[in-house]
């Protein structure tokens, strides 16, 4: 193979604490062994910001400059605390100097700053290719666009098929304490940038190799799986809540790789995708699996050829694992997301554990293990580059065909048994693509800010959205001009559909799932979205690059102004007005009213946040509100969202309260992680009880329900479902201040429901009377508690205890990984209600 000699060349590096790991096969992410559990460990504030980036942002799409595109990278002070040092690996501060040196030595390497981490560290996109003039680069970009946007003609373009440089993308170190991807990539980078081997030079004339050197520099330095905000970014791709994830998304969209690797650790012997079933039902799986399996076998041979006994028997889940243990269902992972952009994708898990408890081994042993892992990384990269080079025409045709089927609206192919060895009935997952989705404007839209956010998100993911220029009818419904249409005859229809369809209840298909099994931007992001199964839109449209503005005031001067709190932007608008000292009245249904005298301030907030105020009906005004201050024993994702909603949140935990944290200036306690009432000392309990007498309590999940019981708040019984149960659920909403106006879908993970509701307790929301699971994986637990037992039971309750504390208990997951954005308002209304007297 062309790059076989790379294995013996190691880039010199400066000779790295740890965090949670993926569970072993068959083990739930909520079971012991997966590090901090959402109900056990509270969030903490992120570390202080590093100095601002100076290199600027390089947008990855539509760049026609020639190659090399070299950047003199800013360098960082040496950080002896960098956790990679102990492993003999490259600390973050050594990366820029090394890349600067290679750029000085070679015209085959380009380094661009693709963005910044949460703490402001630069993200390095390295490109390896033979030099190109700007004209040559332009034709490459023209061909890339043609493959996606005109795939029928691309398939017949002989010059394209002969001259297009095959793009391969290697993503490294997305989990900060899985270090070796970066170092294996550095070896390949140095070799290809400096070798005189004729075969390698020819390879670079026909290929572009893109490497994201470290996707998580903050985690690399700190030795944590998550980034500085506490997010596992390999669960973030269809939400894109993190700056690092958005940078990776731009790499995928801009470079449109035909193959990609996401380098991870640690699975004994090495793990090489493809996955077990269930497979994502929106894929053109035939166009993935043939090359996915063949190159998987090639990587296995390359790893075995290293001669390391620790990597002698690589594991290919499709071949070796039971269904569900390492599935390819969710689009939240780097590899699975990349498939929707035309890539044959892999997650690679190198074999020798060096993080978590293993990090405390002697440095000599850790460095021995890291050397093995780096060899494995290098072998998988080398093999994949060679495979892409050898099979370039087939892979280009493969990507063209993915986009051609989407644009033509063709049905998915039914694959025969034995399509590849081992393929059988358990591997068949398909869906029926609708003809179009419509995001209505006007009175048919539940929330204009939610609709605008959804449209912008679809566009950011390269989904084509159009806006109707006139009124029209579709599938028996009438829509006003300004409504948005997602015509499903488009190249990336699979990505559009995986975001907008309901999903599937796969509880009966497999016993376990690796991670979440349900998500739906249509059902969970708060916007009204209609489906046209077979009718095509017939109306003049314009292509959308950004959603139209939605903010405004629909009331005459002199009228009081009302805001229905239906979206997170509405919550932020209320907090903004309260923060300015404006008088805001809370109504019984959770909406708010602002006096007409505040019209100028309201207009500014409406314009900036895209919310819409209407004329308030005549009648009694509710109590005046004030901007709440929260003490939050919450998970990292919840902390991020609560602050995005404009709340001041002061992180707490059992230990923080026992250390004397002052609750006297706090209006409510939010409990979901890291706080055990029984473990509070006497002083802390007294402080909490004093808060009950003047403030509120909001809880989520098992930790929150236990706090409610132990503190003697609401008289309810919390019933727990299976720990790994998760998905989109159907709900019915009450008319109280929290349930009123909420979406008819919610999200659960380790679902709870409440029975035995005592006096004064209101069911703000209930699970649907029939099977509440719309999409996901929810089986009964050992006690027989499952969806049938949850049906009709309360999922969210509120009430006032004997001390006067207003309390809200969530059995759902309304802030989960910053994804179910349509549920944020429900949490905001709970906080407002609990803190308003």
What's 535's DSSP letter? P
Is residue 206 within 8 Å of residue 115, measured between CB atoms? no
Q: How many Cβ atoms sit within 10 Å of the Cβ of residue 362?
A: 9
Task: Count the helix, strand and coil residues of the chain and give each as a percent rounded to the nearest 5.
Answer: 35, 20, 45
Element (H, E) at 172: strand 166-172
349 among known catalytic residues = yes
Q: Of 77, 79, 75, 81, which is closest to residue 16 (Cα–Cα)?
A: 81
- 277 φ, ψ to 5°? -70, 160
Q: How far is CA 80 from CA 92, 93, 302, in A?
A: 11, 10, 35
Phi, psi at 170, each rounded to 5°? -115, 120
Q: Which two tokens stand for residue 765?
A: 């929301």
Q: What does the alpha-carbon distance between residue 673 and residue 120 come to, in Å, rounded to a whole number?
A: 28
The secondary structure of 552-591 as a DSSP string is EEES-TTS-EEE---SHHHHHHHHHHHHTT---EE-TTS-
Closest CA to 341 of 249, 470, 477, 218: 249
* Residue among 132, 300, 349, 378 flagged as catalytic: 349
Specify the 3-state DSSP secondary structure of 346: strand
Rounded Cα distance between 827 and 62, Å, is 40
Q: Nearest-CA neighbor of 678 among 636, 706, 641, 637? A: 706
**CA 787/CA 769 separation, integer angstroms:** 10
- How far apart (Å, rounded) are the C-alpha atoms in residues 645 and 830? 13
- Alpha-carbon torsion angle 144, 145, 146, 149, nearest 10: 140
**Torsion over CA of 377, 383, 384 and 388, rounded to 10 degrees?**
160
Element (H, E) at 181: helix 180-194
**DSSP class of 26:** T
Cα separation values, 392 from 171, 205, 208, 261, 291, Å:
20, 12, 11, 16, 11
Neighbour tally for 413: CB within 10 Å: 13
- For residue 409, with 0-12 CB atoms within 10 Å meaning exposed, 13-18 middle and 19 or more buried, which class applies? middle
Active-site annotation, residues: 349
């Amino acid at each position: 193979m062309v790059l076989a000699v790379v294995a013996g060349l190691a880039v010199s590096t400066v000779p790295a604490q740890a965090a949670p790991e993926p569970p072993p096969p068959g083990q739930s992410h909520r079971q012991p062994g997966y590090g901090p559990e959402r109900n056990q460990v509270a969030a903490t504030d992120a570390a202080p910001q590093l100095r601002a980036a100076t290199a600027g942002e390089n947008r990855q799409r539509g760049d026609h400059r020639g190659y090399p595109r070299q950047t003199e990278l800013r360098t960082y002070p040496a950080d002896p605390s960098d956790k990679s040092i102990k492993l003999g690996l490259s600390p973050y501060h050594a990366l820029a100097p090394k890349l600067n040196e290679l750029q000085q030595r070679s015209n085959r390497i380009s380094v661009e700053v693709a963005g910044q981490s949460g703490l402001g560290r630069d993200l390095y996109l390295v490109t390896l290719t033979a030099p190109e003039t700007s004209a040559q680069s332009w034709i490459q970009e023209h061909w890339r666009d043609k493959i996606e946007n005109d795939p029928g003609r691309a398939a017949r373009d002989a010059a394209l098929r002969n001259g297009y440089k095959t793009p391969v993308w290697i993503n490294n170190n997305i989990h900060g304490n899985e270090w070796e991807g970066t170092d294996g990539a550095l070896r390949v980078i140095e070799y290809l940038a400096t070798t005189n081997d004729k075969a390698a030079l020819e390879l670079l004339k026909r290929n572009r190799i893109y490497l994201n050197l470290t996707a998580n520099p903050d985690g690399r330095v700190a030795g944590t799986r998550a980034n500085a905000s506490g997010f596992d970014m390999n669960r973030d791709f269809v939400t894109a809540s993190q700056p690092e994830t958005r940078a990776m998304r731009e790499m995928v969209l801009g470079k449109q790789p035909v193959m990609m690797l996401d380098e991870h650790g640690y699975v004994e012997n090495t793990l090489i995708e493809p996955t077990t079933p269930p497979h994502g039902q929106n894929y053109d799986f035939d166009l993935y699996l043939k090359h996915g399996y063949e190159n998987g076998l090639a990587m296995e041979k390359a790893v075995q050829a290293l001669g390391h006994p620790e990597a002698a028997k690589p594991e290919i889940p499709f071949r070796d694992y039971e269904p569900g243990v390492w599935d390819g269902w969710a689009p939240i992972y780097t590899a699975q997301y990349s498939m929707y952009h035309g890539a044959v994708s892999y997650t690679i898990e190198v074999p020798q554990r060096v993080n978590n408890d293993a990090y405390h081994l002697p440095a000599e042993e850790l460095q021995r293990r890291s050397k093995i892992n780096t060899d494995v990384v290098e072998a998988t990269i080398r093999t994949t580059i060679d495979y892409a080079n050898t099979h370039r025409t087939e892979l280009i045709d493969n990507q063209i065909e993915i986009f051609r089927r989407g644009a033509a609206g063709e049905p998915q192919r039914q694959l025969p048994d034995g399509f590849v060895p081992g393929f059988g009935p358990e591997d068949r997952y398909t869906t029926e693509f609708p003809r179009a989705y419509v995001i209505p404007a006007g009175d048919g839209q539940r929330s204009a800010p939610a609709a605008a956010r959804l449209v912008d998100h679809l566009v950011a993911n390269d989904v084509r959205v159009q806006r109707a220029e006139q009124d029209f009818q579709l599938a028996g419904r009438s829509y006003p001009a300004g409504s948005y249409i997602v015509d499903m005859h488009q190249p990336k229809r699979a990505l559009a559909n995986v975001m907008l369809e309901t999903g599937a209840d796969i509880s009966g298909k497999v016993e376990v799932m690796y991670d979440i099994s349900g998500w739906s931007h249509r059902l969970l992001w708060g916007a009204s979205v209609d489906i046209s199964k077979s009718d095509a839109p017939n109306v003049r449209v314009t292509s959308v690059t950004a959603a139209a503005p939605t903010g405004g005031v629909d009331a005459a001067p002199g009228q009081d102004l009302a805001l229905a709190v239906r979206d997170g932007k509405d919550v932020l608008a209320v907090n903004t007005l309260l923060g300015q000292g404006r008088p805001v009245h809370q109504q019984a249904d959770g909406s708010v009213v602002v006096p007409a005298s505040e019209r100028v301030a309201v207009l500014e907030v409406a314009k900036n946040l895209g919310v819409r105020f209407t004329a308030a009906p005549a009648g009694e005004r509710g109590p005046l509100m004030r901007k709440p201050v929260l003490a939050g024993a919450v998970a990292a994702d919840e902390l991020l969202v609560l602050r995005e909603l404009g709340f001041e949140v002061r992180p707490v935990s059992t230990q923080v309260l026992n250390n004397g944290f002052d609750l006297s200036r706090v209006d409510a306690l939010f409990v979901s992680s890291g706080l055990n009432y029984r473990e509070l000392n006497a002083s802390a309990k007294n402080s909490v009880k004093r808060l009950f007498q003047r403030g509120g309590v909001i809880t989520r999940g098992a930790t929150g329900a236990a706090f409610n019981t132990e503190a003697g708040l609401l008289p309810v019984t919390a019933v727990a479902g299976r720990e790994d149960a998760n998905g989109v659920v159907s709900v019915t909403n009450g008319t109280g201040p929290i349930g009123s106006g909420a979406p008819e879908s919610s999200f659960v993970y380790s679902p709870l429901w409440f029975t035995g509701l005592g006096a004064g307790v209101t069911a703000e929301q209930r699970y649907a009377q029939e099977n509440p699971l719309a999409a996901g994986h929810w089986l009964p637990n050992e006690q027989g508690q499952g969806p049938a037992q949850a049906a009709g039971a309360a999922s969210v309750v509120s009430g006032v205890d004997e001390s006067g504390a207003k309390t809200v208990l969530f059995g759902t997951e309304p802030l989960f990984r910053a994804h179910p954005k349509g549920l944020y308002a429900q949490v905001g209304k709970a906080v407002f209600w609990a803190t308003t007297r």
